[in-house]
Amino acid sequence: MAFTVNGRFLSRPMTGVDRVAENILLRMDAQWPVEKLGRYKVAVPRETQRSITLQNGDMVRIGHRSGLAWEQLDLPSACKADLIFNPCNTAPLRHKNNIVTIHDANVMDYPASYSRGFRAWYKLLLPRIARRAKAVITVSEFSADRLLHHGVVNTRPIVISNGCDHLEERAQSQTKRDGSVLFVGSPAAHKNLDMFIKLAAKYEGRDVPFLVAGARSDSVFSHSGTSAPHPKNLKFLGRVSEQQLVDLYQSAQVLLFPSFVEGFGLTPLEAQSFGCPVISSNREPMTELLSDSVLYGDPDDLADWETALNSLLSSDQTWANLSQGGLENAKRFTWANAAQQYLSVIVDEISADSRQTAHAPSVSRVSAV
């Protein structure tokens, strides 16, 4: 059976799940058993501008559509007999040989974050692709629990944690912390930017800059997620490049992650990999992934966050302990390890199909005389 990666994510501005997809693909490519399975392909829409350098695979431009229509019509038509790996939540409905990664059940757990059209499509799509897929993968035990709870899947999906070491090569050798408090993410309601802004107001006049990095997508998210007035010490940076993000992680005094719900929570692990201490929401899956390497706050309790931030900013020892603890925690999550687990699932499915084909009964035809 030929193997194809659904490369739709390469045709759009990078989001969190797209970053995961690209890193899984790159590390999986480095481990791909080309002698056993031959080369594979990454199918993308024709107008795709981004490219990706592969050792054992080939980018193939197919179809004449783009976006959702390309994924649902062009992709399955061009790859009828292939096993298709779909790393970004969605997959072609009419294709039977799918492996799909569904990152979370956020659209059901926190529907206020998403536009009406996006909610309707995902609620229709996710259970159907999950129940027809050869394998369903998700990124945390919490996410597996929520997908089961909402009936997206009938059996527990395979859990493969993301890595967080994709930005390490961009690290600057000499950095100086500037005392800033950082928020990284979209202003969707479940990200709880409102809490960050209210906390910034508490520090207005104390020479503590609060920085927000991230862009929104009106086609996905329903509103800005905040109604709080903007204090003078708050600055919105908009979408930042990977190098700018690394610079922020290396210069910020602390990252705040007050999210109500996540499938994984990559941002705090990214920050930890650069020695930036984290104060996180005390919700799953953050407690699952961060354990005792961070300070926690109740995402509904502003005073809780103010207390945690005061304790970190006022104690060099607390800061140093959290910085070192975060570095150690982040080492547990590598893309090479994640890719190895993905590859194991893929090879198992290809092997199972080969065995099934080999044992299929032959059909003889008798000519009429």
Q: How many CA atoms lie within 13 A of 339 on its CB side?
A: 20
Instruction: Check residue 221 and give its pLDDT.
Output: 38
Instruction: Check residue 356 and give its pLDDT.
Output: 73
Q: How confident is the model at residue 177 (pLDDT cuts 50, 70, 90)?
A: very high
Strands 135-138 and 158-159: parallel
The alpha carbon torsion through 139, 141, 146, 147 (nearest 10 deg) reads: 50
Q: What is the b/e burial string over 27-46, where b = at least 16 CB atoms within 10 angstroms of the residue's CB?
A: bbbeebeeeebeebbbbbbe
Residues 39-68 have a mean pLDDT of: 96
Q: 323-338: per-residue pLDDT in tens?
A: 999 999 999 999 999 9
Residues 35-57 have a mean pLDDT of: 96
Place of tokens 């970190």: 312
Among residues 42, 8, 49, the alpha carbon closest in space to that of 26 is found at 42
Give the range among 140-154, 167-181, 210-224 with minimum mean pLDDT.
210-224
The answer to whether the peptide bond before residue 299 is cis (omega within 30 degrees of 0) is no
Instruction: Check residue 360 and give its pLDDT.
Output: 57
Q: 242-274: per-residue pLDDT in tens?
A: 999 999 999 999 999 999 999 999 999 999 999
Instruction: Check residue 229 and give its pLDDT.
Output: 74
Is it the case that residue 319 has pLDDT exceeding 90?
Answer: yes
d(CA 273, CA 269): 6
Is it the case that residue 223 has pLDDT exceeding 50?
Answer: no
Q: Which is higher by pLDDT, 224 or 236?
A: 236
Q: How confident is the model at residue 365 (pLDDT cuts 50, 70, 90)?
A: very low
Contacts of 290 (CB under 8 A, 6+ apart): 265, 268, 269, 272, 278, 280, 329
Q: Which is higher by pLDDT, 215 or 324?
A: 324
Is it the case that residue 313 has pLDDT exceeding 80?
Answer: yes
Task: Look up residue 270 and give its amino acid.
Answer: E
Residue 147 φ/ψ, nearest 5 degrees:
-65, -40
Place of tokens 């994510």: 9
Average pLDDT taken over every residue of the chain? 92
Residues 173-184 have a mean pLDDT of: 90
Instruction: Check residue 363 and give its pLDDT.
Output: 42
Q: How many CA atoms lie within 13 A of 124 on its CB side?
A: 8
Write out the chain in H/E/C secondary structure.
CCEEEECHHHHCCCCHHHHHHHHHHHHHHHHCCHHHHCCEEEEEECCCCCCCCCCCEEEEEECCCCHHHHHHHHHHHHCCCCEEEECCCCCCCCCCCEEEECCCCHHHHCHHHECHHHHHHHHHHHHHHHHHCCEEEECCHHHHHHHHHCCCCCCCCEECCCCCCCCHHHCCCCCCCCCCEEEECCCCHHHCHHHHHHHHHHCCCCCCCEEEECCCCCCCECCCCCCCCCCCCEEEEECCCHHHHHHHHHHCCEEEECCCCCCCCHHHHHHHCCCCCEEEECCCCHHHHHCCCCEEECCCCHHHHHHHHHHHHCCHHHHHHHHHHHHHHHCCCCHHHHHHHHHHHHHHHHHHHHHHHHCCCCCCCCCCC
Instruction: Check residue 355 and give its pLDDT.
Output: 74
d(CA 359, CA 160): 31
Q: 134-169: per-residue pLDDT in tens?
A: 999 999 999 999 999 999 999 999 999 999 999 998
Residues 160-184 have a mean pLDDT of: 92
Instruction: Check residue 353 and give its pLDDT.
Output: 76
